[in-house]
Every structure is written in C-alpha cells, then in structure tokens.
A = this chain, B = another copy of it.
Amino acid sequence: MKRSIATVSISGTLVEKLTAIQAAGFDGIEIFENDLLYFDGSPADVRRIASDLGLEIVLFQPFRDFEGVSAERLARNLDRVKRKFDLMHELGTDRILVCSNVSPETIGDDALIVDQLGALARAAQEAGVIAGYEALAWGRHVNSYRHAWRLVDAVDHPNLGLVLDSFHTLSIDDPVGEIAAIPGERIAFVQIADAPKLAMDVLEWSRHYRCFPGQGDFDLAAFTARVIETGYDGPLSLEIFNDGFRAAPTAITAVDGYRSLLFLEEETRAVLEREGKPVEETGHLYESPPAPVHVGFQFLEFAVDDTARNQLIDWLTRLRFRRTGQHRSKDVALYQHGAASIVLNAEADSFASAFFNQHGLSLCASAFRVDDAKLAFQRAAGFRYAPFSGRVGPNERVLPAVQGPDGSLNYFVDEAPDEPTLFEADFVLTDVNGPGDAGALTGIDHVCLSLPADSLNAWVLFFKTAFGFQAEADWLVPDPYGLVRSRAVRSRDGSVRIALNASMDRHTAVSESLSMYRGSGLNHVAFGTADIFSTLPGFIANGLPLLRIPRNYYDDLAARYGLADDLLEALRTHNILYDRDERGGEFFHAYTEQFDHRFFLEIVERRGGYDGYGAANAAVRLAAQAQQKKKPARPSGPA
C-alpha cells in the first residue's frame, strides 16, 4: 500500500514538513495549496526537494467551487483550473482534487453538473492530468460520495475520477457499503481521517478536530475494507486538519501519522479476513505480529538518586512493601507487596541516571508481562517505536524494550515454566518469604500519567498500536485552575489500565507536575485491595498521610446515594471516596498526600464489576490537593 500524507496535517514550513514526512517513512505527499503559496521558492523547487527526498507528489489540492455554475462562471473556472494544471506540471504531479461546490449560488442541477464536469475532464485530458471530484460533507448540492459517484460515472471520462474521504463519508453517517461496487480504476484518490464524535457543525468539526486513524471514533477499517475491495491501488493519504497538530512538533506528528496508517491497514486486513475475502485483497496491507492477548504489570521502575530513593522507600514501607531483592550487577533494588513490584534504579551512568538527570525522580520504565515477549517487541518495533537495549550482566535476562512517547522504556517480559523467573534471574532475592503482607494490596490497579496537552493523542496511539490496548472515551475534569482532559487505555483482558491526563491550561495540577519534572510522566499509582476498610487503618497507623477530603463531599454523597449512616461514617473517617456505576458496581478509593510536590498513591477497591476510575471524584481530589498545598505540611509518622 502506498502511504501518503497531506502537508496541511503537520506543523512547520514546507521544507520542515517534507523532511519530517520522508523521515517518517511515507511514500508520497499531497501538496496543500497554501503550503505552496507560503513557500519562498518555485513549484519546480518543491518538485526537486520532494524528489531528492524520494517523495512522490501524489496530489495537488484543493480546487473549489468549479461545478454547478453559470456559463460565464464556467469559462472563468476553466481558465482558473488550467493555470493550476500548468502549476501541477511544474510540481510534477498528475492529480488535482476538486471539491463539490459550497457556494449558495450553486445550481443544483445534476445534468448541468455532469456537463460541466465533462468540460473539466476534457481540459484535464488536454493537460494530461486527472481531476478527482470529492463530495464535501457540507457541499451545497453534492455532499455524499454516492451522489458524487453518480455524477462521475455519468461523465464517464478517464480523466475524471472520484475522490473518497473517510471524514466526509463517516461524519454524515453515509453508509460505506456502496463503495465496494465502484470500479477501483475510477477512484482517483483516497483520503483518510479519523475524528472524535462531536455534536457540532460538520465544517468546524472537519477543520479543527480531525485526528489520525485510531485516535478518534470512526470505524475506518470498515470504510477502508470497502475501498480495498474495489481494487483501488493508489495511496491511502492522511488529510488531517487538527488545531493541536498545527502546533505539535513536526517530526513526532509525522511518524504518528505513519503508524496510524499501518494500524489502519492491520485493522482493515482483519475486517477482510473475517469476511473471508481473497488473499490478494489483503496482500498489500501491513501485517504486524498480533497484539498480546494477556498483559500485566510486571514492575514499575523509578529513576532515583539517594535522596529520592530514601523518600520512595519511606512511602513504600508505610504501604508495607518489603525489600525482596537486589539486582545482581546494578544499583537496583526490588520492593514488593502482593503482585505489585516496584524497582528503584540508582545505577550510575545508565539509562536510569540519564532519565533522572533530565526529569528528576520519575518513572523511567514500565515492564509488561506478555504471552510472548519477542513477538510483542516485534510488534511495537514494527510500529516504529525505538528499540532499546541496555547493559546486561552475565546470566541476566535480556529484556526487549521500546521507548514510549516521553522516552521512557517499555519492557516486555514473558516467563517459561522451566526457567528462572525474571526476578530470579536478575536479582538476589533477599526475602525468602516472597512478597509480604499478602491480602492487603493485591497489585497495581492502574497508573496515571500527566501529559502535555498536545501529546495525549500520541500516547493513545502508542498504547493502541504497540500494545493493542483499547482506548476509552475521554472526559474533562475541572481543576481549580483549569481543565484536565483524561482518557484511559486498557489491555483487552482489562488487567493493565493506564489513565492519561493532559492539562488544557498552564496552571492545573497536571501542568504543575509537568513543569516541575520537565516533561515526564507518572502522576500516581493506584494499588488494588480486596478490602479497603481493613487495609487502610494499617497504612495509616504506619504513618501514611492520606489526602483529607472535605466533609461537604460526604453530605452530598448521602444526598445522592442514600448510603447507610455507618458506611458514610466509615468513608468519612478514612477519607475514602465513593462512586457507583449504573449497574450497581462500587468503587472505594483513597489518596495519599502528594510527595515531592508531584507523586501520590491511591488505594482502590472495586466491587460488583465496577470498571471505571472514580471519574466523578477527580475534581474533588484536585481541589483537595490544591487546598493541601496552601496549608502547612502535616507531620508524618504514626497518626
């Protein structure tokens, strides 16, 4: 499959864009007219630069409001389009996108439009180019691909084809089934964009909120599968108008775009295979090793120095973690409680120390337990996440890893029945009783990352492509000083959950933690427990300082849920928050105060299949944290 992207999809000057697009792996580009307009050089210069980079210019766009016009206007439009044909020759491209007329003066007469598109086709033939006609979702008379195709079909000229655009089709819920019946050679071009489902004017939605496949809500694989069935063999080309992408770093956005096309091809292949379509239809679609079915947290690894290590150990001890191992060759210690494993890495001149120098105390690596580590790694690397290998001591395990969007490592770990476990291989296990205090904490329930606003989409794509995770709907949480956008991803079996929080503003808790730690990453870890009411008092007795929840919150809980007085009293006493889902599932959770101005921990208990994260309580927590900061620190030690 040829892979292409429109220059309008990413930020930068035209040269910056082309360089990034080539580096990302694309075969071709659509030149968006404004990018050419703004470029201080000739179209022939652009042709040369693209050609030097090995990029084909597969389309020039857009040409607007050509058809359904008066005879006089048609003459002017033909004159106008012939100038663009000349320009296309200089650019070295043979294809132009002509979008359906949006002018209020359009004459909505199909016979007239067929005539005029015929004139366009003949002019294109003279110039030796192909005009592609696209129905804009907000076109005045023509707004669906089916209508556009009837017109193109009626013109029946080899120099006029149909342009399909997933946004224009899926945004108006236009059924995709009829695409498959269009002859592939009559499809001049195919543009791909995803988008979150938004209740707004379709033009505004299109111009500001498109995103890469996999980041939005459209069923793009169903659309693309029908395109493939037509025998179309031109490029799949990303055309993304997105306010965030316009401001995001050029190179990162470009490679995310490339990944998203690979992912779309994989999903399209799956659709076609499920439908039992012949192999030749799927043969040129990207094929990736399958995503791991089971994924679990193996450990979280923190980059520390001596001070940070002592600080973390202090907190882990209050949660009754025990030091269970010391790395065989590195200054790395293992702490465990139940199934939760935390690794503290203070090794000098290592990836961890570099990470510490850049970010301070931070999550430098996450290790995921998978069925087959090698396959999982190959999948992630295939999606162009950078492979990483560190120093390995004798007899230590080589863990395949890729770097995530913030540069942190993501290890893949599997265990074979007859071989030593990872911890046995790499650590001298010092606590022969194994993880202590079983029954208090069961493991890592979820982790939560703080992200810059413009990187949320990149992280969603990372977990969806590299790990095959599913993304949940996003929601907005009010912080006292702005809004936080939150979106959770989870492994298909639900055993790994990661909440991604991005500040929309400069002053929220999320932005503060980011600016304090120069851009990386972990905000809090939530540990699961089977019985929060029996677990918490022990931690509190150990001196774990819990975030104080305002009393008014509990009065409101009483009014909302009619909870029994003794339950309410128990919640209030332990500063436990409460949520209930529509099916009666319940969520009990308590937060620690923040330490190091940034991290905190959460203890959670899920009952009755509750599947969320207590989203309803996030604003209470943020407000309580803001108030905590304005008060003198409470003494630690047993309360």
Q: How far is the CA of A34 from the CA of B40 in the complex (A)?
A: 54
A33, CB-defined interface residue at 8 Å: yes
- The digit string for A470-494, where 1 denotes a CB below 8 A from any CB of B, is 0000000011111100000000000
Which of B34, B83, B480, B627 has a CB less than 8 Å from the CB of A555?
A: B83
| Residue pair B33, A556 in contact (C-beta under 8 Å) | yes
Known contacts A247-B508, A480-B12, A558-B83; is-contact A624 B40 (Cβ 8 Å)? yes
Q: How far is the CA of A620 from the CA of B43 in the complex (A)?
A: 16
A42, CB-defined interface residue at 8 Å: yes
Q: Which residues of B contact A552 (CB under 8 A)?
A: 36-39, 42-43
Q: Which residues of B contact A619 (CB under 8 A)?
A: 34, 38
Which of B479, B483, B620 has a CB less than 8 Å from the CB of A37?
A: B620
A391, CB-defined interface residue at 8 Å: no
Q: Across the two chains, which residue of chain B brings its CB closest to A503?
A: B247
Which of B76, B204, B247, B548 has a CB less than 8 Å from the CB of A40?
A: B548
A108, CB-defined interface residue at 8 Å: no
Q: How far is the CA of A84 from the CA of B560 in the complex (A)?
A: 11
A246, CB-defined interface residue at 8 Å: yes
A418, CB-defined interface residue at 8 Å: no
Within 8 A of B (CB), among A495-522: 504-508
A630, CB-defined interface residue at 8 Å: yes
Known contacts A200-B200, A482-B11; is-contact A87 B555 (Cβ 8 Å)? yes
Q: Across the two chains, which residue of chain B brings its CB closest to A623?
A: B38
| Residue pair B506, A38 in contact (C-beta under 8 Å) | no
Q: Across the two chains, which residue of chain B brings its CB closest to A554?
A: B37
Q: Which residues of B contact A246 (CB under 8 A)?
A: 478-479, 481-483, 505
Within 8 A of B (CB), among A507-560: 507-508, 548, 550-553, 555-556, 558-560
| Residue pair B482, A247 in contact (C-beta under 8 Å) | yes
A195 to chain B, nearest CB (A): 14
Known contacts A199-B204, A504-B247; is-contact A553 B481 (Cβ 8 Å)? no
Within 8 A of B (CB), among A1-45: 11-13, 16, 33-34, 36-43
A217, CB-defined interface residue at 8 Å: no
A486 to chain B, nearest CB (A): 15
Known contacts A38-B623, A550-B39; is-contact A247 B483 (Cβ 8 Å)? yes
- The digit string for A546-576, where 1 denotes a CB below 8 A from any CB of B, is 0010111101101110100000000000000
Q: Which residues of B contact A40 (CB under 8 A)?
A: 548, 550-551, 624, 627
A310 to chain B, nearest CB (A): 30
Known contacts A13-B480, A506-B247; is-contact A80 B556 (Cβ 8 Å)? no
Q: Which residues of B contact A127 (CB under 8 A)?
A: none
Q: Which residues of B contact A626 (CB under 8 A)?
A: 13
A94, CB-defined interface residue at 8 Å: no
A582, CB-defined interface residue at 8 Å: no
Q: How far is the CA of A43 from the CA of B555 in the complex (A)?
A: 11
Q: How far is the CA of A479 from the CA of B624 in the complex (A)?
A: 39
Q: How far is the CA of A83 from the CA of B559 in the complex (A)?
A: 7
Stoichiometry, as copies per complex, reads: 2
Q: How far is the CA of A198 from the CA of B76 in the complex (A)?
A: 34
A15 to chain B, nearest CB (A): 8
A349, CB-defined interface residue at 8 Å: no
Q: How far is the CA of A38 from the CA of B627 in the complex (A)?
A: 9
Q: Which residues of B contact A84 (CB under 8 A)?
A: 559
- The digit string for A69-110, where 1 denotes a CB below 8 A from any CB of B, is 000000010001001100100000000000000000000000
Q: How far is the CA of A506 from the CA of B241 in the complex (A)?
A: 18
Q: Across the two chains, which residue of chain B brings its CB closest to A631?
A: B40
A243, CB-defined interface residue at 8 Å: yes
- The digit string for A130-148, where 1 denotes a CB below 8 A from any CB of B, is 0000000000000000000
A189 to chain B, nearest CB (A): 22
Q: How far is the CA of A606 from the CA of B559 in the complex (A)?
A: 65
A275, CB-defined interface residue at 8 Å: no
Q: Which residues of B contact A504 (CB under 8 A)?
A: 243, 247
Q: Which residues of B contact A173 (CB under 8 A)?
A: none
A245 to chain B, nearest CB (A): 10
A181 to chain B, nearest CB (A): 34
A201, CB-defined interface residue at 8 Å: yes
Q: Across the two chains, which residue of chain B brings its CB closest to A557?
A: B37
Q: Across the two chains, which residue of chain B brings its CB closest to A76?
A: B562
- The digit string for A616-638, where 1 denotes a CB below 8 A from any CB of B, is 00011001101100100000000
Q: How far is the CA of A286 from the CA of B505 in the complex (A)?
A: 35
Q: How far is the CA of A479 from the CA of B246 in the complex (A)?
A: 8
Q: Across the two chains, which residue of chain B brings its CB closest to A562?
A: B76
A510 to chain B, nearest CB (A): 12
Q: Which residues of B contact A12 (CB under 8 A)?
A: 480-481
| Residue pair A481, B37 in contact (C-beta under 8 Å) | no
| Residue pair A247, B201 in contact (C-beta under 8 Å) | no
| Residue pair A38, B507 in contact (C-beta under 8 Å) | no
A123 to chain B, nearest CB (A): 14
| Residue pair B38, A505 in contact (C-beta under 8 Å) | no
Within 8 A of B (CB), among A37-58: 37-43
Q: Which residues of B contact A243 (CB under 8 A)?
A: 482-483, 504-505
23 CB contacts below 8 A, A to B, read A11-B480, A13-B480, A13-B623, A16-B480, A37-B553, A38-B550, A38-B620, A38-B624, A39-B627, A40-B550, A40-B624, A40-B627, A43-B552, A76-B562, A83-B558, A84-B559, A198-B204, A199-B201, A200-B204, A243-B482, A247-B483, A247-B508, A454-B505
8 further interface pairs, Cβ-Cβ under 8 Å (given A83-B559, A200-B201): A13-B480, A13-B627, A16-B480, A38-B627, A39-B550, A40-B548, A198-B201, A247-B506
Residues of A near any B CB (own CB < 8 A): 11-13, 16, 33-34, 36-43, 76, 80, 83-84, 87, 198-201, 203-204, 243, 246-247, 454, 478-483, 504-508, 548, 550-553, 555-556, 558-560, 562, 619-620, 623-624, 626-627, 630
Top 10 closest pairs, chain A to chain B, by CB: A38-B623, A247-B505, A199-B201, A247-B482, A200-B200, A40-B550, A83-B559, A37-B552, A80-B559, A40-B627
